[in-house]
Amino acid sequence: MGTANRPIIINGGITMMTTILSFIIVLGFLVFIHEMGHYLAARHVGVRVETFSIGFPPKMWGKKVGDTEYILSWIPLGGYVRLFGQNMDDEDPQDPTNYAAKTIFQRFYILIAGPGVNLIFAFLFMPMVYMAGISIPKYFLEPAVISHVEQNGFAEKSGLQKGDEIVSVNGKSSRNWEEVNSHLTAVKSSEINLEIVRDGYSQTLTSRLDELRENGPGWTPKIAPVIGGFTENSSVQEAGLKIGDRILSINGIAVKEWRDISQIIQKSQTPVINKNSADASGTTQISDDNADPGSHPGIPVEIEAEHQGELSRVTITPTFNASTQTYLLGMKIEQSNRSYGLIESAKMGTERLVFITVMTFQFIGKMFAGQGSLDDLGGPLRIGMVIGDAVRTGLADVFFLMAVISLQLGVFNLLPIPVLDGGHIFFLGIEKLKGGPLSAAIRERTQMIGFALLMFFMIVVTYNDILLQWG
């Protein structure tokens, strides 16, 4: 028993160690560049920097060089730069190296430098995602052959049929699904002309752009029934099937494309479905009672697969998914890695980051309006888990995550909350309008309130992370 369990314990330990180390390195770097922004700006305008710390106390290591003590601290959830004169007890407007002696613009420059560096690095990291290569469905790079046409969709109204291959959109050659999607997105005219090949003959079908926008494409691409990955607790993976295996048949029924798999699986579970109640029209329904998936045990099916010319047969019990009300095998379609050149990566990365920035501000607005959910927030635990997963997945995922976290560090620190950079900038604005700084008592009180709110927020999101992970 003990020997059999050891690999699981070791693997779990390695996974946890990878997560912890990745979290410390990634977050530590992003905090470092943030604090370095403050540090360099302060030195630039002549403010004495007393402490430069990565992490929060207790102190792990420290070394004083000149006027500055450089510190590594044990709690890797942030960092800080302590400037001479930034605390109310050491303000001295007469000392030229004192923070309080600097103009409003110089202090604003110091405060904005930290979040500003995070935002700059976010725009540097995101193009690197596309240069390193992103994972896209493999069928994107294959001929645009249609597997299925939905009723009343753009495809049906255009006259498309199963088996048609789209070879051009409005005269632009389309060698694969990626180019078809790209050309359709770029259409400006009200009319769309699709050149297709049907039964070996070429013809052109005409439809309208508003049909596409209103109803969506309404087609299903032809996708090879090849295993490209597995979901969590995958039944096919547990049965021994591997990535790259081609599904040939299920219960003796031939599988020609990916879409066949789900159709055959759902039909194979008909006896289970019929045990559930029928609606008023007599159509059988699986009751959505939010019960454990075990309340809808699947019927085992026999799958024949091929891997590098070798055939294998396994018996698998499909898993019921309550959210989709379907039975699943737990596998994903094939993926392909796609990398881009510098200019294209810069363009795509910038567009992606602008989109994420807009979504971030919309989310912040919803939170302040009381419409957001804590489940959408990630505290230290969830950030650590996501970073660990990204490191194990690939370099592109690491760059993407660093870009997003760096962006959100920059945005979050600019919020007008006392103790954050945005709070200090807000007070500078009041000082400019008022003609002088707020009283020490008011600033001290607001700092305490801001710190308490920040700590409460951190505790709540961390507790929520624990509930989501282990609750």
> Given this model, what pLDDT does residue 469 score?
58
Rounded average pLDDT over 55-81 = 88
**pLDDT tens column, 194-207:** 999 999 999 999 98
Of the candidate ranges 213-217, 268-272, 334-338, the one whose mean pLDDT is the lowest:
268-272
d(CA 356, CA 347): 14
> Given this model, what pLDDT does residue 291 score?
38
> Given this model, what pLDDT does residue 281 score?
35
**pLDDT tens column, 319-331:** 888 878 889 999 9
Domains 138-221 and 229-334 share a fold: yes
| Domain 229-334 belongs in CATH node 1.10.3720.10 | no
Residue 298, pLDDT above cutoff 90 = no
> Given this model, what pLDDT does residue 5 score?
36
**pLDDT tens column, 223-239:** 999 999 888 778 898 88
Q: What percent of the chain has pLDDT above 70?
A: 84
Highest mean pLDDT among 179-188, 316-325, 448-457: 179-188
Residue 79, pLDDT above cutoff 60 = yes
> Given this model, what pLDDT does residue 16 score?
72
**pLDDT tens column, 86-104:** 887 888 889 999 999 999 9
Rounded average pLDDT over 196-223 = 91
Mean pLDDT estimate for the chain: 83
Residue 10, pLDDT above cutoff 80 = no
Residue 301, pLDDT above cutoff 80 = yes
Domain ranges of the chain: 19-133+392-470, 138-221, 229-334
Rounded average pLDDT over 135-156 = 91
> Given this model, what pLDDT does residue 119 score?
94
Residue 21's pLDDT band (cuts 50, 70, 90): confident
Cβ 108 vs Cβ 183: under 8 Å: no
Cβ 188 vs Cβ 210: under 8 Å: no
> Given this model, what pLDDT does residue 14 score?
54
In the chain, the N- to C-terminal Cα span, in Å, equals: 28
**pLDDT tens column, 123-137:** 999 999 999 888 889
CATH of domain 138-221: 2.30.42.10
Q: Which has more confidence, 166 or 273?
A: 166
Residue 139, pLDDT above cutoff 70 = yes
> Which tokens is 101 given?
């002696």
Q: What percent of the chain has pLDDT above 90?
A: 44
> Given this model, what pLDDT does residue 84 score?
93
> Given this model, what pLDDT does residue 380 score?
60
**pLDDT tens column, 399-429:** 888 998 899 899 989 988 888 899 999 999 9
Residue 377's pLDDT band (cuts 50, 70, 90): low
> Given this model, what pLDDT does residue 471 score?
52
Look up the pTM and report it.
0.69
> Given this model, what pLDDT does residue 467 score?
63
> Given this model, what pLDDT does residue 384 score?
66
Residue 111, pLDDT above cutoff 90 = yes
